[in-house]
Structure 1
Amino acid sequence: MQRVLIIGATSAIAEATARLYAERGARLHLVARNRARLDAIADDLLVRGAPEVTRAELEVNDIAAHGAALDAAWAALGEVDVVLIAHGTLPDQKACEASVETALAEFATNGTSTIALLTLIANRMQTAGRGSIAVISSVAGDRGRASNYLYGSAKAAVSAFLSGLRQRMAKHGVAVITIKPGFVDTPMTREFKKGALWAKPEAIAEGIVSAVDKGRAVAYLPWFWSGIMTIIRCIPEFLFKRLSL
């Protein structure tokens, strides 16, 4: 029986992923800010087959609270086989350009808080000598673009951190998986016009579970984003500056 810890468990992608693990019969510990949503998701997961679903509230930017939250998670599950970190926001780029305070707050939510959690989680899993850590980053971190470079820079920091962590943890039997979704149709993106490149949370969840099962290093989801981002990374700077991306 797998024991799965999900941080940011009320996000659409995290909820869809939790459902897949519940259907496998995994025990789950859910962490997020909204207790009412946590309770509702937990009830649903029990119906779907999870034998036990515990949950706890956490404001991820309260770095001092991370240790106690992880203590509670490990106490609830005993040991942890899979960790999924899935929290984040989609900042207003113009607001970030206008305010240092807003920019740093958004960077903290999407970057610093994840790095802080990973530092504590990695030490625990290194001691255990087993398990998988999956983190939702983004294709936006592959190259800064004018339309969302604050978000992209936070995700780039997470991706670089995960790359180094993966190399470190490989020596200790722990897999580290970087998840890089493209456009996903979630409540966070409800105002965006949708097109052919958009995916549903359920499809991303299937990709996450598959990537964890296979121990992949980096998973672009859906798969075609790997090719798209290869092209974007290769655009010469003199031309890239003229594009509207």
Structure 2
Amino acid sequence: MLQYSIASAFVLGSTSAVAKAICRELAQRGCRHFHLLARNLEANQAFAAELQQRFGAAVTTESVDLLADAAIPGEHAPLVGAFDLYLITAGALGDAEQARHDPAEAQRITAANYTGLIPWLTAIATPERLAGSGRLWVFSSVAADRGRPSNYHYGAAKAALTTLCEGLLLRAHAKPFAVRIIKAGFIATPMTVGKAPALLCASPESVARDLLRRPNRRGIEYLPWWWAALMRLICLLPSSLASRL
């Protein structure tokens, strides 16, 4: 039996640094079947080749565009197959400055971080799947906890995603299927270069290890753990101070 009982993984946003770190950690611990979904087909296929060559994993890939997925009609739900783990790491900061005056950019940020994920989450969270064993891990963000003048469109989208997934979490209460919502702080990835203090950035590898240390956990958690206390403090700040964040 595999140590973590995760023999297969469906990964939406598989070219992100944190998704790659989690997949590598899973593969090292015995996961041998991956289905990787990302917008960048070339990068996705390159990562698939790495998992195949380094770990002997069976890997399939799929090209997705969350901006287009946001407009998927209800009768055309995406196919998600049967996997032990559904990992959702897709998202994008977008151009926060442009979004302040460009509704199209604001909508792109919302689609990349929330509305584009709805068809996929709906397809995953069927009554049949919730009644069986399995896991859904969704990456949200600490930006969901309080609006900031620097990136409020991104924060609003992550807040909506968190609320939706919290509903799924409660819907799966007392069922075998485990829903896990990760409110991630800054992670050292290309997306955060120049936008976050290096001292506050966790490595993707440390995040992967933290997640797999307790693979059957469900609920809402902050990674790294100390972001929980930091965000409680930030949420208590008066507006005069919060406006500087």
One fold, TM greater than 0.5? yes
Partner of residue 100 from structure 2, selected from 69, 76, 97:
97
Partner of residue 135 from structure 2, selected from 132, 136, 142:
132
Q: Which residue of 1 aligns with 2:230?
A: 228
Partner deviation per Cα, 1:162-208 (whole Å, 9 max, x = no partner)? 11110001243211111111111111122335331111111122223
Q: Give the Cα–Cα distance (whole angstroms) in 2 for the partners of residues 124 and 210 of structure 1.
A: 28
Q: Give the Cα–Cα distance (whole angstroms) in 1 for the partners of residues 176 and 55 of structure 2.
A: 29
The sequence identity of aligned pairs, in percent, is 36
Partner deviation per Cα, 1:18-71 (whole Å, 9 max, x = no partner)? 101111221111111122111111111123324311111111222239987853
Q: 1:40 aligned to 2:42?
A: no
Structural mapping, 1:145-184, within 5 Å = 145-184=148-187
Q: Which residue of 2 aligns with 1:4?
A: 9
8 Å Cα contact 2:17/2:204 also seen in 1:
yes
8 Å Cα contact 2:88/2:138 also seen in 1:
yes
Q: CA RMSD in A?
A: 2.2
Q: Give the Cα–Cα distance (whole angstroms) in 2 for the partners of residues 151 and 139 of structure 1.
A: 11
- Secondary structure of the structure 2 residue equivalent to 1:89: coil
More helix by share: 1
TM-aligned CA distance change 1:67 to 1:3, over 3 Å: farther
Q: 118-127 or 221-230: which moved more?
A: 118-127
8 Å Cα contact 1:126/1:172 also seen in 2:
no
Unaligned runs of 5+ in 2: none
Q: Give the Cα–Cα distance (whole angstroms) in 2 for the partners of residues 50 and 172 of structure 1.
A: 33
Q: Could you state the TM-score of these two structures normalised by the residue count of structure 1?
A: 0.88
TM-aligned CA distance change 1:67 to 1:207, over 3 Å: farther
8 Å Cα contact 1:25/1:50 also seen in 2:
no
Partner of residue 34 from structure 2, selected from 28, 35, 40:
28
Q: Which residue of 1 aligns with 2:118?
A: 115
Q: Which residue of 1 aligns with 2:24?
A: 19
Partner of residue 191 from structure 2, selected from 184, 188, 192:
188
Partner deviation per Cα, 1:68-88 (whole Å, 9 max, x = no partner)? 7853x51xxxx3111001111
8 Å Cα contact 2:178/2:216 also seen in 1:
no
Q: Could you state the TM-score of these two structures normalised by the residue count of structure 2?
A: 0.88
Partner deviation per Cα, 1:111-148 (whole Å, 9 max, x = no partner)? 11122311111016636522110011000001111111
TM-aligned CA distance change 1:50 to 1:159, over 3 Å: farther
8 Å Cα contact 2:77/2:119 also seen in 1:
no
TM-aligned CA distance change 1:67 to 1:188, over 3 Å: farther
